Amino acid sequence: MRKSKLRRKTNETEIMVELGLDGRGKYLIQTPVAFMDHMLSLLAKHGFFDLKVTARGDMEVDAHHTVEDIGILLGDAFFQALGDKKGIRRFGTATVPMDEALASVSLDLSGRPYLSYRAPGLKGRIGDFDVRLTKEFLRAFANHLQATVHIQVLDVEDIHHGVEAIFKALGRALDEACAKESRSSEIPSTKGKL
């Protein structure tokens, strides 16, 4: 079973993540950042990952540390659950419409962390959530997953829909990349290592 269970405690946050890659999209998300709860639920549901996240953070400062540390630990959880990466598909791409918004995510579970984030229309606040934290979460996630992740928001009017399209596309692209390849049980690289 490709699963992980991790905990991260700092002076700023305390986070626990349980992840099952071969799940059914079941989730239980409880953090002090309601909008992140919604986005992580979308990622789990559309990626068919079983995901449990609990978090506490220094919200009296702001949501930055909590959101970033959730990205760190979730990236670590995916990395650990993937193990040696033998037999995975490795690459994943998804483009998802959300009403007037359209987002594309392409990723490579390459072992080389990189984030390209092109979302010039995503500025402002969604409730009390600073939309700039979306990029902070994604950077932390890509770095700790050790994946190359390219994200483009191709069209957007409503910033809520724009961020929602990103997380749905991320879930679908991750599902494709993490899936077992029926034609090979080897590491999907001519180098023999990811």
Q: Is residue 188 part of a domain?
A: no
Q: What is the CATH number of the domain that holds 18?
A: 3.30.230.40
Q: Is residue 183 part of a domain?
A: no
**Rounded distance, CA 92 to CA 169, Å?**
10
> For the chain, what percent of residues have pLDDT higher than 90?
98
What would the pLDDT profile of 43-72 be if each residue is shown by its tens digit? Answer: 999 999 999 999 999 999 999 999 999 999
pTM across the whole model? 0.97
What would the pLDDT profile of 147-179 be if each residue is shown by its tens digit? Answer: 999 999 999 999 999 999 999 999 999 999 999
**Rounded distance, CA 72 to CA 141, Å?**
5
What would the pLDDT profile of 75-94 be if each residue is shown by its tens digit? Answer: 999 999 999 999 999 999 99
Q: What pLDDT score was predicted for residue 39?
A: 98
Q: Is the pLDDT of residue 1 over 90?
A: no
**Structural domain count of the chain:** 1
Residue 170: what are its φ and ψ, rounded to 5°? -60, -45
Q: What pLDDT score was predicted for residue 190?
A: 94
Range of the domain at 34: 3-178
Q: Is residue 184 part of a domain?
A: no
